[in-house]
């Protein structure tokens, strides 16, 4: 059985072309997989944006951060962790007293 597919010409930088040829990689299959992955990524991103825009106003959109905020933990002798008192104080607005000039 012969499968006919449309052809597409793709340009690669010289270094990338050489790597593909030297390693004997199946360029067509790799490019097909990359296109399928990108289309799927865009589809999921569009769905996420749509679902976020339909969310109730009280639901905040997630913010992209490189690192999630962390907090210090004390580990008691029982092995259970609990937030440090200083962290709890700062969250409750009871941080270090400020000097009055």
Residue 39 lies in a domain: yes
**What is the sign of the dihedral through the CA atoms of 57, 62, 64 and 65?**
positive
Query: For residues 87 and 49, which has the higher predicted lDDT (pLDDT)?
Result: 49
Number of domains in the chain: 1
Residue 42 lies in a domain: yes
Query: For residues 96 and 51, which has the higher predicted lDDT (pLDDT)?
Result: 51
Q: Kindly state the average pLDDT of the residues 20-24.
A: 97
Candidate from 20-29, 36-45, 65-74 with smallest mean pLDDT: 65-74
The pLDDT of residue 3: 82
Residue 12 lies in a domain: no
Write down the mean pLDDT value for the chain: 75
Residue 73 lies in a domain: no
pTM: 0.46
Which residues span the domain enclosing 38?
26-54
Residue 93 lies in a domain: no
Residue 48 lies in a domain: yes
CA distance 52 to 59: 9
**pLDDT tens for residues 44-53?**
988 887 766 6
């Amino acid at each position: 059985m012969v499968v006919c597919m449309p052809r597409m010409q793709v340009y690669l930088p010289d270094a990338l072309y050489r790597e593909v040829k030297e390693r004997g990689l199946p360029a067509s299959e790799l490019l097909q997989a990359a296109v399928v992955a990108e289309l799927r990524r865009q589809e999921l991103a569009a769905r996420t944006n749509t679902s976020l825009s339909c969310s109730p106003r009280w639901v905040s959109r997630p913010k992209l951060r490189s690192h999630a905020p962390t907090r210090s933990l004390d580990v008691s002798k029982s092995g259970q962790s609990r937030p440090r008192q200083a962290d709890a104080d700062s969250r409750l607005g009871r941080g270090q007293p400020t000097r009055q000039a």
